[in-house]
Copies of this chain bind each other. A is one copy, B any other.
Amino acid sequence: MRPFKRLISLEQALSLTSTCAVPTKKTERLSVVEAIGRVSAEDVVSKMSVPPFPRSAMDGYAVRARDTFGASKLKPIRLSQGEAIRVGSVPKKALTKDVCAMIATGAMIPKGADAVVMVEDTEVEGKAVLLHESVHPGQNVSRKGEDITPGTKIISYGQVLNPSKLGVLAAVGRDEIRAYAKPLVGVVSTGNEITELGSELGPGKVYNINSYTLCGAVSANGGQVRMLGIVDDTVEDIERVVRENSDCDILVFSGGSSVGERDIMIDVLERNGKVVFHGIAMKPGKPTLFGTIEEQLVFGMPGHPTSCLSNAYLLLTPVLRKMARLPPQRPACVPARIAKRVVSTTGRTQFLTVRLDGDIAHPAFKESSAITSMAFADGYVVIPADVDLIEKGERVTVYLL
C-alpha cells in the first residue's frame, strides 16, 4: 500500500483542479425550448426591428397629438371615429385631422397618427369620441425598433440562457441557437463488494450507492452523466474503461480506497496521463486522487458514500461548472447556531453535516461510510482547516443540501 506522501489543502486542491479544467469547446444546435439553462456558444445579432412597426402600447384611440392639446375632463375634445384597428391587421387608411381610430394594444399605428389616448381617458358619444386628456407626440406608442434595432447584439457568447434570453431570441424569430454541450461525465464504481441495484445481495456485498449520488450531483450542475456501472479493480479493467471513454470530459471513479486499489488507479493514471495530487487535508474526503489524461479530468473518489458525495459538492461540481461554462453555483445557505461544541482536527478542512431545527444546527455526521450522515441531514457546515473548535451557540453558515 502506497502511503499518502503529502496532503494538500482543500484550497490547493481546488486551485489545481480548476487549472486543469478546460471549458468545453463542444457545441450543439438546440431549439429555443431545449436551450433553457444552457450556455450560448454564439453572439446573436438581430436582423430585424422589434417591434417591426410602430404599435400602440395601450387600448385606446390613435390620434394626431396636436388634435388633443388642451383636452381635459372639464373641456373634453371631440374627435370623429374612423376605422377600428385590430392587432395583427394593417390600418386601411391614414388618419386625418380631428379623426381618431380605435386601436388595440399591439396594433399598428396608422399613418398620420403619432399618439394614443388611453381608453380610460375617453368617452364614446354616438359616432364621436370625447377625449378627457391630451397626449404628447409619441405618447403610448412603441416606435419601430424601440425594443430592438437591427444590428443589436441580443445574446452574447457565454451567456446563460434564462427565460428572458429565450424570449429575446423568440422576439427576433430565432427558433434555435448554438449552445455549449454539457460536459460528459463518466461515473464508475469500483470494488468487488459493490452490487448493482436490482440484484440480490450476496454475503460481504453492499449496494452501489456512489453512482447514484454522483449522477444526481452531476446532472444538477450542468453535466451529462454516462453511467458506467461497476468495474473490477484490476489494471486491465480500469484501463479498458479509460480507453473506451476517452470522449468523456471527466471520469469519476469511486471506491479504490481498499488495499491495493488506490495503487491501481495511480498506476493507470501514471501510464496514461499523470497524477496531479493524491490526498487532501479534509475530513471526510482525504483519500482523493486526481489526475488528467490529456484534457480529460480523472477523479478517484473515496468509496465511503458520504466522503464521495461531499467531494462531489466541494471538488467536482466547481470544475464541472467551469467546463460547462456555467457561473459558480450560488449555494443556498442559511445562518444558524451550532447546537453543541464541535472539535475539529487542526490542519484539515471539515465537512460537517447538520440537521436544522429552526436556526439551530445539530451535527448529523455519523461516519463517512454512513450514507445517513448526509441523507438524514439538511445541510452542511465547512469548518476551515485553521479552526479546531466551534463553541456551542457559535454562528455558522449552513449550506443546504
Contact = CB atoms under 8 A, between A and B. Distances in A.
Nearest to A196: B175
Interface in A318-337: 330, 332
Interface in A219-242: 219-220, 225, 227
Given A105-B258, A174-B197, A206 B50 contact: yes
Contact of A375 (B48, B103, B154, B204): B154
Given A3-B120, A369-B142, A166 B213 contact: yes
Contacts of A171: 206-207, 209, 305, 371
B197 A167 contact: no
Interface in A79-121: 84, 86-90, 102-108, 119-120
A210 B3 CA distance: 60
Nearest to A203: B90
Interface stretch (A31-39, A69-77, A129-137, A267-275): A31-39
A151 interface: no
B86 A213 contact: no
Contacts of A374: 164, 167
B90 A204 contact: yes
Interface in A170-219: 170-175, 191-194, 197-198, 201, 203-217, 219
Contacts of A162: 216, 401
Nearest to A104: B258
A370 interface: yes
Given A142-B369, A259-B104, A220 B36 contact: yes
A278 to B, nearest CB: 15
Identical chains bound together, number: 2
Nearest to A56: B258
A263 to B, nearest CB: 11
A89 B167 contact: no
Contact of A147 (B103, B146, B211, B371): B371
A120 B272 CA distance: 29
Given A162-B401, A164-B309, A367-B142, A192 B52 contact: no
Contacts of A146: 366-367, 370
Contacts of A51: 206, 369
A296 interface: no
Contacts of A338: none
A396 interface: no
A369 B207 contact: no
Contact of A167 (B52, B53, B142, B371): B371
The 4 closest A-B pairs by CB, nearest first: A88-B192, A163-B216, A104-B258, A88-B193
5 contacts: A88-B194, A146-B367, A147-B370, A163-B309, A171-B207
